[in-house]
Amino acid sequence: MFEGSYENIISEVSPQSIAENIGIQKGDVLLKINGQPIEDIIEYMFYIADEYLEIEIKKSDGKVKTYKIYKEYDEDLGIIFENPIIDKAKSCRNQCIFCFIDQLPPHMRETLYFKDDDSRLSFLQGNFITLTNMSDEDIEKIIRYRISPINVSIHTTDPDLRVRMLNNKRAGNIYERLQKLTKAGIRINGQIVLCPHVNDGENLDRTIGDLASLYPSLESVAVVPVGVTRFRENLYPLETYREDTARKVIEQIENWQQKLYGKIHTRFVFLSDEFYVIAKKTLPPYEAYEDFLQIENGVGLMAMFAHEFYDRLQEIPFIEAHGKEIAVVTGVSAAPFISRLCKEIEKRIKNLRIDVYPIENHFFGTTITVAGLVTGQDIIKQLKDKELGEKMIIPESMLKAGETIFLDDVTVEDLERELHVKIVVSKVSGRSFVDKILE
């Protein structure tokens, strides 16, 4: 249809939808809406908002048919495309000094090595983008089609340092681009991957000050510690945060939060839970995370989990479990937190025993402590000879989205077979966690 682009093949038509009612079918190809060729999902979503549509569809026999549709404003047509963003996703052109994908071992699934940097995926799925592979025309397209909110990996507003961190000579104009987008009303959430002795300290102060000046369109900033695996041969020499250095970062950010809350009535910049775990400090209270805008970055995840957990726990009467035993698997960093919660359940349910197993990450290296990067083979090796009770609960974050496969291609079924225990997958939710224990 378009040179170098993918066809807009329809993979599914929702039952009783507008599309089904007028005769659009699986396998049809969308060509145009109101005379406009559709090149990506953002254009599709923009043009179908109108109340009157003329849609050109190429049928399976090659004939082109035009459908005229009257509908409510913003009413969906019920079309699902074979490729959710329609054309090919834009890959990242940077060589960031902290890139986690560059630290993956060889011979993993090919999809794990794809580095996306696509504004459409930011809008649709919450992925973070750097804005470095976007032309001025692409920026104007975000503004024209009101692609909002988007998530942007910022890291620093110092032009020279950002060029060095991303190893991309086009990376230095980030602040100007953020200014242009926020001035046009595009809502943005920012991310800073903090690297010791690189973009922290005084540079972090400068970055936060610059970004806070773009509030409220730039809604929040998450600060997360760099992750370092054992596969860093020939890569930039990075350190990880230790207890003392993490405490300094926490003090710095909490000072900014106090200052900004008095000035713009929001804390604006938030630390991921991992900083508090590394520093061995108590997490901020639930209220300190405001609207939890950066929870996908691990910001406030534990506070949200605990809040949901205790809400659900209060609904459970004191009961007896008749000597049941359950295993719970998590990452090293979350294990003390999960253990405390499990003790609370044991108080409520008499004769229930819950054993929490923190899994050391030998696959990526023991510096990686989060549950989401635990592999199936590490679980099997470390629990092979354990008595695991009647079931073992694992968090959904360990698995590929929508599937029962770990990062190393070990499946949940493999775990059950090797460990001789039923595996129960829990959503990363305090309420779901309690329910899975009670099932």
Domain that holds residue 167: 101-297
* Higher pLDDT among residues 225 and 101, named by residue: 225
Whether residues 150 and 223 share a domain: the answer is yes
Whether residues 191 and 292 share a domain: the answer is yes
Query: For the chain, what is the radius of gyration of the CA atoms?
Result: 24
Q: Determine the Cα angle at 335 with ends 332 and 336, to 5°.
A: 120
Instruction: Assess contact for 436 and 393: CB atoms under 8 A.
Output: yes
- Give the best-scoring range by mean pLDDT among 120-134, 260-274, 361-375: 260-274
pLDDT at 109: 63
| 41: pLDDT strictly greater than 50 | yes
Residue 1 lies in a domain: no
**Residue 300 contacts by C-beta under 8 Å, 6 or more apart in sequence?**
270, 273, 284, 286, 288, 289, 292, 294
User: pTM of whole model > 0.85?
Assistant: no
Residue 124 lies in a domain: yes
DSSP code for 411: B
Instruction: Assess contact for 55 and 69: CB atoms under 8 A.
Output: yes
HEC sequence for 42-81 = HHHHHHCCCCEEEEEEECCCCCEEEEEEECCCCCCCCEEE
> Into how many domains does the chain fold?
3
Residue 252 lies in a domain: yes
Nearest to 373 by CA among 353, 383, 359: 359
**Residue 277 contacts by C-beta under 8 Å, 6 or more apart in sequence?**
333, 334, 337, 369
Q: Which of 267, 297, 327 represents a domain boundary (last residue)? A: 297
Nearest to 224 by CA among 191, 190, 197: 191
At 161, the amino acid letter reads L
Whether residues 404 and 276 share a domain: the answer is no
Residues counted in the chain: 439
Nearest to 218 by CA among 253, 254, 260, 161: 260
What's the CA gap between 223 and 80, in Å, rounded? 35
* Higher pLDDT among residues 3 and 425, named by residue: 425
CATH number, domain at 336? Answer: 3.40.50
Q: How far is CA 33 from CA 7, 50, 165, 203, in A?
A: 14, 10, 42, 48
CATH number, domain at 262? Answer: 3.80.30.10
| Cα 230 off chain centre by | 23
Percentage of residues of the chain with pLDDT beyond 70 = 92
What's the CA gap between 151 and 130, in Å, rounded? 9
Tokens 């047509």 correspond to what residue?
A: 77
Whether residues 245 and 128 share a domain: the answer is yes
Whether residues 321 and 278 share a domain: the answer is no
Q: Find the farthest-apart pair of alpha carbons in the chain and give their distance in angstroms, rounded.
A: 69
Whether residues 260 and 147 share a domain: the answer is yes
Tens digits of residue pLDDT in 244-274: 999 999 999 999 999 999 999 999 999 999 9
Give me the mean pLDDT over the 352-373 stretch.
Answer: 94
Confidence category of residue 209, pLDDT binned at 50, 70, 90 = very high
Residue 87 lies in a domain: no
Whether residues 133 and 106 share a domain: the answer is yes
DSSP code for 286: G
Tens digits of residue pLDDT in 92-114: 677 888 887 777 777 666 655 44
Task: Give the three-class secondary structure for 281.
Answer: coil
Tens digits of residue pLDDT in 325-345: 999 999 999 999 999 999 999
Residue 92 lies in a domain: no
Cβ count near 429 (within 10 Å): 17
- Residue 350 pairs with which residues in a beta bridge? 320
- Residue 277 tokens read as 């775990």
